[in-house]
Structure 1
Amino acid sequence: MAWTTPPQLDPERSRRRLQLLAELAGARAVQQRQRPRRARGEHLRQLIATRRRVAG
């Protein structure tokens, strides 16, 4: 199968695509910052569950 260059997008579509990619990158950055907090919370929930099992 021969490689072909992709068709050129119109300027408005290119602008919207770049904007969407930038928003997606921003959302990923926020998610990365929140992940450690979520992991800590999950770890605490596991410890509490373990303690309840042992004490119960």
Structure 2
Amino acid sequence: MADWGGVPMPEQGQHDRGQDPEREGTEDERLRRRAQFLRELREARELRDRVRPRRARAARMRQQMRMRTFRW
């Protein structure tokens, strides 16, 4: 096993996923946690937009400009 700055690096082809069956859980649990995270993220963005409407408007304008200049 290689060592980098005191932190052991995983062997070739070895990753954190799938190594610990208790930590892995089921696919349904993972999707539920992901959906909850995305809901909270959306709520946080909406709150930020309400608190700072000028900044939100400027961000929307920048995004529109990016989309106008983007070439498909």
1:23 to 2:39 alignment: yes
- Residue among 3, 22, 25 paired with 1:9: 25
Percent identical pairs in the alignment equals 6
Query: Which structure has more helix as a fraction of its residues?
Result: 1
Q: Distance in 1 between matches of 2:27 and 2:41?
A: 21
Query: Which structure has more strand as a fraction of its residues?
Result: 2
Give the alignment's TM-score, normalised by structure 2. Answer: 0.41
Unaligned 5+ segments in structure 1 are 38-56
Q: How many residues align?
A: 33
Give the alignment's TM-score, normalised by structure 1. Answer: 0.52
1:35 to 2:67 alignment: no
RMSD, matched Cα: 1.8
Report the AA paired with residue 27 of structure 2.
Answer: P
Higher relative contact order (CA 8 A, sep 6+): 2
Q: Distance in 1 between matches of 2:42 and 2:49?
A: 11
Structure 1 runs of 4+ aligned residues shifted over 3 Å read none
Unaligned 5+ segments in structure 2 are 1-19, 54-72
